[in-house]
């Protein structure tokens, strides 16, 4: 059944009447039953250009994944452990946990920001979830199964291309093993959806724990970029540097190295997390621009620097906006006040992305479109433009981009106008 512009406006008005423009994706479960949410869920979206490994599968699907993998145990501290090296006393499989009375909601409390203690520093809890769930893809076989599920999920919500932020830890061999597991997952997904594409943005970290690893992560990124192919194109097409901006080292620490890596590996593109900060005033966006980024990760605080905003506009740099994440991590609770609404109005290209959906919502990406549709009062045509941007600004070769655009135009026509 199609949807007219007028019906879209009505769904939006009804949603605003019930929930306003400030809602919580883990607490206000009613939003998922609204006609507007349901419509946005089935709407063909194109790509998700900013999603972090391994924080994608919603918690009920993560629980299901663990049920199917008894080689993963859960410690009494809610930490996932791979059984290989052994696990602490009291660790249980997911089947045992559920059999002994734990529920999906218990896991949701411990594995999402909903469980963060009042008054604490949210990022501590948030990074703690990565520590708790970090072993979920310990082996290549687990990576393959996890990402097969991830990509089939995306396929089910009208996303045909995923750009996954992934660090490649360990030796070069470990890095290749993980990358090849991504490719096997992609091949499995292509049995259902032959057109699906996956590219990886290989990440380094800028916090104190990861810093000594930075060079190794970047070496692995370059190594995988030149050695792993999905049969149609290179798997790794860009790099990024991640972590909480307010408590990590500045990008300044990595600027020289990043510029050198990009200069020495010409096909590699660059997108950097910058301007995702509560403190506000810092140099991160300016440094990212100096590094000649192709896209800007978040850029939330760009409004604080009018000259840089003008530069982003003039250079046509695309901003990866993740509204659900921004709300979950406390940067902006009321979506009508999200600064990217103004960036979009000024003509800066914007894409809507999910960031760390597993730990921040009940679903992936649909909520991000909901947040901006309602918060920025977007027309159906404007939402369509955002979907189109997600293809236009993807790190894909021209032929693949054209094919994806054709698929999406056709899917949009099918879903919206019939
Ligand atoms: Zn991110």
Place of tokens 């909480």: 244
Q: How far is the CA of 334 from the centre of ligand 1 (A)?
A: 20
Q: pLDDT by residue (tens digit) across 9-60?
A: 999 999 999 999 999 999 999 999 999 999 999 999 999 999 999 999 999 9
- For residue 321, the CA-to-ligand 1 centroid distance in Å is 9
CATH number for the domain whose boundaries are 5-57+139-417? 3.20.20.140
Q: How far is the CA of 356 from the centre of ligand 1 (A)?
A: 7
Domain ranges of the chain: 5-57+139-417, 64-122
Q: How far is the CA of 21 from the centre of ligand 1 (A)?
A: 23
Task: Supply the mean pLDDT for the chain.
Answer: 95
Cα 416 to ligand 1 centre (Å): 30
Per-residue model confidence (pLDDT) at position 231: 82
- Tens digit of each residue's pLDDT (9 = 90 or more) over 302-340: 999 999 999 999 999 999 999 999 999 999 999 999 999
C-alpha 206 to ligand 1 mean position (Å): 13
pLDDT number for residue 47: 98
Q: How much distance in Å is there from the Cα of 247 to the middle of ligand 1? A: 15
**pLDDT cut 70: percent of the chain above it:** 99
The whole-number average pLDDT for the span 148-166 is 98
**pLDDT over 90 percentage in the chain:** 90
pLDDT value of position 1: 61
Centre of ligand 1 from the C-alpha of residue 16, in Å: 28
Task: Indicate the pLDDT class of residue 208, thresholds 50, 70 and 90.
Answer: low
Report the separation in Å between the CA atom of 313 and the middle of ligand 1, taken as the mean of its atom positions.
21
pLDDT tens track for 350-391: 999 999 999 999 999 999 999 999 999 999 999 999 999 999
* d(CA 127, ligand 1 centre) in Å: 12
Quote the CA–CA distance of 410 and 418 in Å, as a whole number: 11
Q: What pLDDT score does 87 carry?
A: 85
Give the Å distance between the CA of 242 and the centre of ligand 1.
7
**C-alpha 164 – ligand 1 centre gap (Å):** 10
pTM of full prediction above 0.95: yes
CA 50 to ligand 1 centroid distance, Å:
6
Amino acid 417: pLDDT? 82
Kindly report which listed range (209-223, 266-280, 355-369) carries the lowest average pLDDT score: 209-223
Residue 276 C-alpha to ligand 1 middle, in angstroms?
A: 9
Structure confidence at residue 210 (pLDDT):
63
CA of 241 to the centre of ligand 1 (A): 9
Least confident of 50-54, 96-100, 282-286, 414-418: 414-418
Residue-level pLDDT at 209? 66
CA of 325 to the centre of ligand 1 (A): 8
Distance 41 CA to ligand 1 centre (A): 22
What is the pLDDT, as a whole number, of residue 406? 97
CA of 108 to the centre of ligand 1 (A): 20
Lowest average pLDDT, out of 2-6, 23-27, 205-209, 383-387, goes to: 205-209
Per-residue pLDDT reduced to its tens digit, 63-77:
999 999 999 999 999
Give pLDDT tens digits for 169-186: 999 999 999 999 999 999
Query: What is the model's pLDDT at position 85?
Result: 79
Please tell me the least confidently modeled range out of 79-88, 171-180, 262-271.
79-88
pLDDT in tens, 191-204: 999 999 999 999 99
122 has a pLDDT exceeding 80: yes
């Amino acid at each position: 059944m199609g949807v007219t512009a007028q019906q879209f406006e009505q769904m939006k008005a009804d949603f605003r009447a019930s929930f306003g423009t400030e809602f919580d994706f883990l607490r206000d479960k009613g939003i998922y039953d609204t006609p507007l949410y349901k419509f946005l869920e089935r709407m063909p979206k194109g790509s998700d250009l900013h999603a972090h490994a391994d924080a994608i599968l919603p918690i009920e699907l993560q629980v299901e994944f663990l049920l199917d993998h008894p080689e993963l145990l859960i410690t009494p501290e809610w930490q996932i452990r791979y059984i290989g090296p052994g696990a602490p006393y009291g660790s249980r499989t997911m089947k045992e946990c559920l059999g002994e009375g734990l529920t999906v909601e218990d896991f949701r409390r411990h594995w999402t920001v909903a469980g963060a203690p009042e008054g604490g520093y949210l990022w501590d809890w948030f990074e703690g979830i990565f520590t708790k769930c970090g072993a979920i893809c310990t082996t290549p076989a687990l990576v393959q199964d996890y990402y097969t599920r991830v990509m089939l999920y995306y396929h089910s919500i009208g996303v045909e291309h995923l750009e996954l932020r992934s660090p490649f830890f360990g030796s070069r061999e470990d890095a290749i093993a993980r990358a090849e597991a991504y490719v096997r997952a992609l091949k499995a997904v292509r049995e259902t959806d032959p057109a699906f594409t996956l590219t990886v943005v290989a990440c380094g970290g800028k916090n104190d724990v990861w810093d000594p690893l930075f060079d190794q992560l970047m070496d692995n990124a370059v190594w995988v970029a030149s050695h792993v192919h999905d049969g149609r194109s290179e798997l790794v097409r860009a790099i990024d540097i991640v972590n909480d901006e307010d408590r990590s080292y500045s990008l300044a620490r990595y600027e020289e190295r990043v510029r050198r890596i990009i200069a020495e590996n010409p096909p590699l593109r660059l997108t950097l997390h910058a301007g995702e900060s509560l403190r506000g005033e810092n140099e991160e966006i300016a440094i990212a621009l100096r590094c000649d980024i192709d896209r800007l990760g978040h850029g939330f605080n760009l409004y604080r620097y009018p000259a840089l905003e003008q530069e982003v506009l003039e250079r046509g740099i695309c901003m990866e906006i993740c509204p659900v994440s921004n709300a979950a991590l406390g940067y902006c609770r009321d979506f009508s006040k999200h600064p990217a609404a103004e960036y979009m109005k000024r003509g800066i290209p914007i894409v809507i992305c999910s960031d760390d959906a597993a730990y921040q919502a009940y679903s992936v990406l649909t909520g991000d479109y909901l947040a901006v549709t309602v918060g920025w009062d977007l027309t159906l045509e404007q939402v369509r433009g955002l979907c189109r941007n997600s293809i236009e600004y993807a790190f894909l070769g021209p032929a693949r981009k054209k094919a994806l655009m054709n698929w999406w135009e056709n899917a949009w026509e099918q879903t919206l106008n019939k």
